[in-house]
Amino acid sequence: MKRLLVRLWLPALGVAVWELVTLCRWLDPLFFPSPGLLLQTFWRLTRNGELAHHLGATLGRLGVAYVAGSAAGIAAGLILGSLPFWRQSVQGVLSGLYASPKVALLPAFLVLFGINDVSRILPAAISCFVLMTMYSVDAARAVKPNYVDLARSCGAGRRALFFRVYLPACLPSLFTGLRVGLGTGLVIVVAAEMLGAPSGLGEFIWITGQTLAVDKMYAGIAVCALLGAGTNYLFERLERRMVPWVR
Amino acid sequence: MRIRCDDLGVSYTSGGRNIDALAGVTLEIGEGEFVSLVGPSGCGKTSLLRALGGFVQPRSGTVTRSGDTGDGSIALVMQEDSLFPWMTVLENATFALEMDGVPRAAREDAAQPMLRRFGLAGRERAYPQDLSAGMKQRAAVARAFLSRAGLLLMDEPFGALDAMTRQMLQRELLDEWTSSRRTVLFVTHDVEEAVLLGSRILVMTPQPGAISAVFGVPFAYPRSYELTLTSGFVRLKREIHALLGVGPMEARTRG
């Protein structure tokens, strides 16, 4: 309860100040609708299923991109961690991809694959893949050789070495990567949706913004924020369960 | 388990330079023998232990391990990082048995008395990070004892412990060795510990690491801590100290 209060007081204060500022008409309500109005809009759009429709579309694309990209990235990273030749060979490409802003690739994907879900999912999947490959390579290389010797001395074979030593040793870093990757993936999917998608939070925010339905636009942004906060919270819970030895 | 090595050389690269950690080491450790290895830090003790365990590839020479006690595996206890942080005390202590294919229930039955003996009862589900240094090391030693390994390689296992835990573990180690008669190679920089535990002492000198002397320890087992106060013990200790170059400093402080 106390923790909840600590987490919520600052956002609550922000909303209160916002309400005050709009009440006093210090800001144009056309561009800065009051939190009260936003809440009404949010509630209306939730009731009529509009937000759920767009959230569903975004979640679907993000889910596919995130799960496929991250899983492939983890597998590639852990394998590369044990193959110095291939690691060094792909290092340059990976670092380049990692450092470049993936949203800059969106137009290229639209040209290559057309205006469809492939070009909305693939950029996010590639981002998650590159990110998780980087995190997993580093994690695999950071496994202390002591632990490997120890496990081998106990008679661990390749399978046991992977599942009882490498994987758990990497798990804390993998979780950090997965958490970062989810945020990155959301950014890219939403950005991609702004470029002519038929549905999705990005499309909704873009269209409502363009038509000056500012209250609706903010409702869409709020869903993105809640989605980010919610998944982050779930990740914390999952991490505590899966990595109980790290606190 | 018996170990032999002939003309063993181990080197590693550090900062682009090739450093010889060991050169021309020839030794033999018999079945069920308790051998202490002493030497100053950086003399290659750990390199020798790792080469004998097969964890590093020697640059030259050969290592052979043979014998029929144990399952052919090796129990390794190091000074630190001897426990997997992601396993509980119980999982750590029984890991060697798990790798041997012993079913969970049987593993836990075997571990319980050992953990109780080592003062770890009630902490079975704790993770290493929640244990004191002494408890961690006791859990690591418990795993070594629980394993069916024919060879115990111990690399300064009690080096970072308080005196009381160290004495307790030394006593437990001697008890365990007396009852199981597994081969033990015990690396330490503490001459007293080496003499108290070992039936034979190998003295190493650095750069490159080589065995410079071998001492037979004439005291019968079972040994107790009282032994360290006898004149024969002190004489042997002094002899080894002199060889390690601790002698001149004693002379200086006296004069």
Q: Is residue B55 part of a domain?
A: no
Contact B86 A150 (CB under 8 A): no
A27 has pLDDT over 60: yes
B91: closest chain A residue by CA: A164
- Per-residue confidence at B250, pLDDT binned at 50, 70, 90? very low
Residues of A in contact with B147 (CB under 8 A): 154
| Strands of chain A, DSSP E | none
pLDDT at B251: 43
Q: Is residue B35 part of a domain?
A: no
DSSP symbols for B210-238 = EEEEEEE--PPSS--GGGGGSHHHHHHHH
Per-residue pLDDT of A39-84, as tens digits, reads 899 999 989 989 999 999 999 999 999 999 999 999 999 889 888 8
A164 touches B at CB < 8 Å = yes
Per-residue pLDDT of A90-121, as tens digits, reads 888 888 888 888 888 888 888 999 888 999 99
Q: Is residue B133 part of a domain?
A: yes
b (16+ CB within 10 A) / e for B171-200: ebbbebbeebebbbbbbbbebebbbbbbbb
B253 has pLDDT over 70: no
Q: How far is B147 from chain A (nearest CA, A)?
A: 8
Contact A149 B55 (CB under 8 A): yes
Residues of A in contact with B85 (CB under 8 A): 245-246
Mean pLDDT across B56-84: 82
B97: closest chain A residue by CA: A154
B248 has pLDDT over 60: no
pLDDT at B134: 85
Residues of A in contact with B84 (CB under 8 A): 147, 150-151, 164-165, 168
Q: Which domain holds residue B96?
A: 84-149
- Per-residue confidence at A30, pLDDT binned at 50, 70, 90? confident
Mean pLDDT across A217-229: 91
Q: Is residue B108 part of a domain?
A: yes
Mean pLDDT across A28-33: 80
Q: Is residue B196 part of a domain?
A: no
Q: Please, what is the angle between helix A167-193 and helix A106-113, to 10°?
A: 80
Q: How far is B127 from chain A (nearest CA, A)?
A: 6
Q: Which of A183, A167, A174 is nearest to A229 (CA)?
A: A183
Per-residue pLDDT of B224-246, as tens digits, reads 888 888 988 899 999 898 888 75
Q: Is residue B249 part of a domain?
A: no
Q: Which of A138, A127, A109, A139 is nearest to A72 (CA)?
A: A127
A241 touches B at CB < 8 Å = no
Mutate to test the interface with B, among A148, A153, A163, A247 (most CBs of B within 10 A): A153
For chain A, which domains are there?
40-242 (1.10.3720.10)
Phi-psi region of B143 (alpha: psi -120 to 50; beta: other; left: phi over 0): alpha
Share of chain B above pLDDT 70, in %: 95
Contact A164 B95 (CB under 8 A): yes
pLDDT at B132: 87
Contact B99 A155 (CB under 8 A): yes
Q: Are strands B200-205 and B34-38 parallel, antiparallel or unpaired?
A: parallel
pLDDT at B71: 66
Residues of A in contact with B153 (CB under 8 A): 153
Q: Is residue B38 part of a domain?
A: no
Q: Domain tally for chain B?
A: 1
Residues of B in contact with A160 (CB under 8 A): 99
B68 has pLDDT over 70: no
Contact B78 A146 (CB under 8 A): yes
Q: Is residue B6 part of a domain?
A: no
B70 has pLDDT over 80: no
